[in-house]
Amino acid sequence: MPDEHRNKPGFLRMARTIGWALFGVRGRKGYESDLKLNPVHVILTGLLLVAVFIIVLLVIANLAAA
């Protein structure tokens, strides 16, 4: 297995990185590892996480209003 394929971050690691960034608590510590992320994957994962966040907020609001 080539080294570059082995060093690519998995979906869960990328989702965790983007999730922390969405909440504004991503520090400089992991900046160098973030450079290995594919920009298209980052955008798609970010959109997915935002959609999940909105759905969770809607469900909570509906439960609170019921």
**Which residue has 């400089």 as its token pair?**
28
- pLDDT by residue (tens digit) across 7-65? 666 878 888 888 877 777 766 666 666 777 888 888 888 898 899 999 999 999 999 99
Tell me how far apart the 2 most distant CA atoms of the chain are, in Å: 54
Residue 1 has pLDDT above 60, yes or no: no
- pTM, entire model: 0.67
Which residue stretches of the chain are H helix?
Answer: 3-6, 11-22, 31-34, 39-65
32, 33, 51: which is closest to 43 by C-alpha?
A: 51
Residue 5 has pLDDT above 60, yes or no: no
